[in-house]
């Protein structure tokens, strides 16, 4: 709905309220059984016009909310429901020149009140899903109801539509109330409970009117309208609360989605896509923190630099896809053979780096175990001869200032070990 449409709709509501406001100075349908005090009260303030004015105010307030929350379809249904309720009350409150006009207006008022309650049923369905669009069959079902409520009073009197109308309104309001309370179970919204409870209370009032009030002229019926007014106001407060809770819920959901997307992006940036190991970017992010933590708790820290022997031979003889599978196997093998507290990085190409909490001597021992375990793995048996792991170690001392220099030292020691292995294999 555009801003111009909102302004036009508001103007229509205000123009509709004007006749009802003027009717507040006169009584509604005449009554022969009212007491003098009740007659004076109802002459001063017509309760139905008062309730209609309250419905207009509620609809306008919700219209302001909808101008900022146009994605919330349920607010649009609320506005429509309150607008129909307002028109219904104003039609019933206005004076008419003859009984036939009065009877027709009362039946039309009852029909509009039924429509209002049915729209509130749709509002509960529209909260989390797109409501069903009215079809031709729905119009055909409402057509006989419209004919009955507008024509029957002319032939049979108000009794033909008074109790049936309130019972139909009660049934629709009870359905709408149950639908809103069900939202509480799905989304934990207190406003939904308030709206649903008030609609159930309105349904109870309509049942009481249908069964306990003899005719619309009775004084007790006017008092029931004041009860309806109070329930309307509480219902409106519940709708405001539900809208605020919905906005808060959506904000939390958007924040969660943003945090999740941020975490996924952070993982993408700091994780090697081929092997699943962390990359150099992540190493630069955490190494200073890890060094400080190990120094604070006096925990030794070492680096293991790993290279895959004869990896170029694999790429040249078996192809790059086979080389990628070897790297994935090496990465999975290393990750499964170190502790969760240690870090495994793909340093580049066929080189890996492990940051492990142990002394250099323990790191050398751990490297030897990794070499032996990899050589004995079934996957290694299918690789060309001589393919294995070369490992160099370096401990991060307390006085170390440049960890990257230690990485270079571990790299150099790895190459020394690789050359030693190469010479041993040739001899």
Residue 423: pLDDT above 90? no
DSSP 3-state of 218: coil
The mean pLDDT of 95-115, rounded to a whole number, is 93
Greater confidence (303 vs 424) lies with: 303
Residue 342: pLDDT above 70? yes
Greater confidence (222 vs 414) lies with: 414
Task: Give the strand order in the sheet containing 343-348.
Answer: 343-348, 351-356, 302-308, 389-395
Rounded to two decimals, the pTM is 0.62
Using CA atoms, how far apart are residues 165 and 210, in angstroms rounded to an integer? 8
- Residue 18, pLDDT score: 41
- Residue 308, pLDDT score: 93
By residue count, the chain amounts to: 427
Residue 59: band (very low, low, confident or very high) from pLDDT cuts 50, 70, 90: very high
The mean pLDDT of 401-423, rounded to a whole number, is 89
- Residue 414, pLDDT score: 94
- Residue 25, pLDDT score: 37
Whether the Cβ atoms of residue 249 and residue 187 lie closer than 8 Å to each other: yes
- Residue 88, pLDDT score: 95
Whether the Cβ atoms of residue 410 and residue 304 lie closer than 8 Å to each other: yes
Whether the Cβ atoms of residue 56 and residue 90 lie closer than 8 Å to each other: no
Using CA atoms, how far apart are residues 20 and 188, in angstroms rounded to an integer? 39
Helices 311-318 and 320-336: crossing angle in degrees, nearest 10, is 140
- Mean pLDDT rounded to a whole number for the chain: 84
- Residue 3, pLDDT score: 46
- Residue 245, pLDDT score: 87
345 DSSP β-pair partners: 278, 353
What is 280-426's CATH number?
3.30.70.270
Residue 347: pLDDT above 70? yes
Residue 124: band (very low, low, confident or very high) from pLDDT cuts 50, 70, 90: confident
Residue 87: pLDDT above 90? yes
Helices 47-68 and 3-23: crossing angle in degrees, nearest 10, is 170
Q: What is the pLDDT of residues 294-341, one digit of tens each?
A: 888 999 999 999 999 989 888 888 888 988 988 999 999 999 999 988
Largest Cα–Cα distance of the chain, in whole Å? 125
Residue 421: pLDDT above 80? no
Token pair, residue 254, equals 């958007």
DSSP category for residue 88: H
């Amino acid at each position: 709905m555009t801003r111009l449409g909102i302004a036009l709709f508001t103007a229509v509501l205000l123009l509709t309220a004007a006749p009802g406001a003027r009717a507040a100075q006169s009584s509604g349908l005449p009554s022969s059984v009212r007491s003098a005090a009740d007659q004076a009260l109802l002459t001063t303030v017509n309760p139905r016009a008062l309730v209609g004015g309250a419905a207009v105010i509620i609809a306008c307030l919700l219209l302001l909310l909808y101008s900022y929350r146009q994605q919330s379809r349920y607010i649009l249904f609320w506005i429509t429901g309150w607008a129909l309720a307002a028109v219904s009350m104003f039609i019933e409150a206005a004076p008419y020149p003859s009984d036939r006009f009065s009877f027709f207006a009362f039946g039309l008022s009852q029909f509009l009140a039924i429509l209002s309650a049915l729209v509130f049923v749709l509002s509960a369905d529209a909260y989390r899903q797109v409501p069903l669009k009215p079809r031709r069959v729905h119009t055909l079902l409402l057509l006989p109801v419209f004919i009955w409520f507008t024509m029957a009073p002319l032939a049979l009197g108000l009794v033909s539509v008074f109790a049936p109308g309130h019972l139909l309104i009660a049934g629709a309001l009870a359905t709408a109330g149950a639908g809103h309370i069900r939202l509480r179970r799905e989304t934990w919204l207190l406003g939904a409970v308030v709206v649903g409870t008030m609609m159930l209370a309105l349904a109870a009032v309509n049942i009481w009117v249908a069964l306990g009030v003899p005719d619309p002229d009775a004084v007790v019926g006017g008092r029931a309208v004041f009860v309806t007014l109070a329930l309307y106001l509480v219902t409106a407060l519940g709708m405001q609360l539900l809208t605020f809770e919905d906005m808060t819920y959506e904000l939390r959901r958007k924040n969660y989605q943003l945090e999740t997307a941020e975490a996924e992006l952070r993982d993408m940036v700091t994780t090697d896509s081929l092997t699943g190991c962390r990359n150099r970017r992540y190493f630069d992010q955490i190494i200073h923190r890890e060094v400080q933590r190990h120094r604070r708790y006096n925990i030794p820290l070492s680096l293991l630099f790993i290279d895959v022997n004869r990896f170029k031979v694999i790429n040249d003889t078996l192809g790059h896809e086979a080389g990628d599978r070897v790297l994935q196997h090496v990465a999975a093998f290393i990750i499964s053979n170190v502790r969760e507290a240690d870090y495994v990085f793909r340093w580049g190409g066929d080189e890996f780096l492990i940051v492990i909490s142990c002394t250099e001597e323990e790191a050398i021992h751990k490297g030897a175990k990794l070499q032996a375990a990899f050589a004995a793995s079934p996957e290694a048996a299918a690789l060309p001869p001589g393919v294995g792991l070369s490992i160099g170690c370096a401990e991060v001392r307390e006085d170390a200032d440049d960890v990257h220099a230690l990485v270079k030292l571990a790299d150099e020691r790895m190459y020394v070990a690789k050359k030693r292995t190469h010479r041993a294999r040739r001899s």
